[in-house]
Amino acid sequence: MRLVYSRRALSDLEQIASYYIANASPAIAQSIERRFIAVIERICQLPEAAPRVSQRSQVRVVSAVR
């Protein structure tokens, strides 16, 4: 599976990281980054496990909650 990040997604990820670095700690920001990476890798390995947003969409969603 090929993963493509939109400009908005990359901007959102950068803002999330900046927020947690400023308001929590770099360690918490790194922990959240690792969780994002784990979820993204799971989607890439088993894309069918993530439901599509709609039947006609190629966009898939995954709950980050374990």
> What are the pLDDT digits (tens) for 9-65?
899 989 998 999 999 999 999 999 898 888 888 878 887 777 778 878 877 777 655
CA pair distance 12, 6, nearest whole angstrom: 10
Which residues, including other chains, have CB under 8 Å from residue 16's CB and lie 6 or more apart? 32
pTM of the model as a whole: 0.66
Split at pLDDT 50, 70, 90, the class of 2 is confident
**pLDDT, greater one: 40 or 8:** 8
| Residue indicated by tokens 């390995």 | 45
Q: Where are the domains of the chain?
A: 1-66
